[in-house]
Amino acid sequence: MANVATIRVLPSAFLVFFLLFTSFFLASGAEEAESHGVFRRTLDQKLMGLKKEKLTHFRLYWQEVVSGKNPTSIRVIQPVNGSQVLLGLVQIFDNALTLGPDPDSKMVGRAQGFVIQPDQNEIALLKAENFVFVEGKYNGSAITILGRNSVANTVREMPIVGGSGLFRFARGYVQLRTHAFNNETLDTILEYNVYVLHY
């Protein structure tokens, strides 16, 4: 009888041992996944190639052409009928960024993005744009800007919310002012002063 009881205990002991081993294995796997930062981990900046942060200033001119055969900015949604402040307007653009205010001055990048007019009381555009550089050291890098552009203000300020290439982890702000506006063609030249912190 002792042999019969032993035989019955062995499969039960084996099952208990198997369950404990499996539980331990799964728990250690979860801990290992956590320790390897499945959800979050702290990284060494040097391993990411990040050096000392620096502040760079650019003065650029934003050349918007809405007239002629080759506009760089087009309306994709017209404003609500009768709106004095262009409520509902959506416009996309791919404008040249130049070193000087003259449209023929050297182009160093493109401003690509859109504006939306969400304000019912004044022309205050929601503007999202990437400054994509095509010249020199910053060729292929971009800065992303997102903010409110109250057109009636002499100087407007918008935040830099990120970037790519040499502008990874970018932050800062831009100040813009209208350099020229043609009432007939609606072509616009904006002066941008860009202050960007980056590595």
Q: Both tokens of residue 159?
A: 């935040």
In this predicted model, what pLDDT tens digit does every residue of 40-91 receive, in sequence order?
Answer: 777 777 777 778 899 999 999 999 999 999 999 999 999 988 889 999 999 9
Beta bridge partners of 95: 111
Q: Does residue 71 or residue 3 have the better pLDDT?
A: 71
CA separation for the pair 129, 111 (Å, rounded):
6
Domains and CATH numbers, the chain: 52-198 (2.40.480.10)
Q: Give the up-direction half-sphere exposure of residue 97: CA atoms within 13 A in the CB hemisphere.
A: 23
Q: Does the pLDDT of residue 6 top 50, yes or no?
A: no
- CB within 8 Å of 120: residues ≥ 6 apart: 85, 87
pLDDT bracket for residue 105 (50, 70, 90): very high
CA separation for the pair 141, 151 (Å, rounded):
28
Q: Global pTM?
A: 0.77
The predicted structure's pLDDT at residue 40 = 77
CA separation for the pair 85, 37 (Å, rounded):
50
The predicted structure's pLDDT at residue 199 = 87
The predicted structure's pLDDT at residue 5 = 47
Instruction: Give exposure, 17-31, as e/b (b: 16+ Cβ within 10 Å).
Output: eeeeeeeeeeeeeee
Q: Both tokens of residue 80?
A: 């609500």
CA separation for the pair 85, 54 (Å, rounded):
40
In this predicted model, what pLDDT tens digit does every residue of 123-159 receive, in sequence order?
Answer: 999 999 999 999 999 999 999 999 999 999 999 999 9
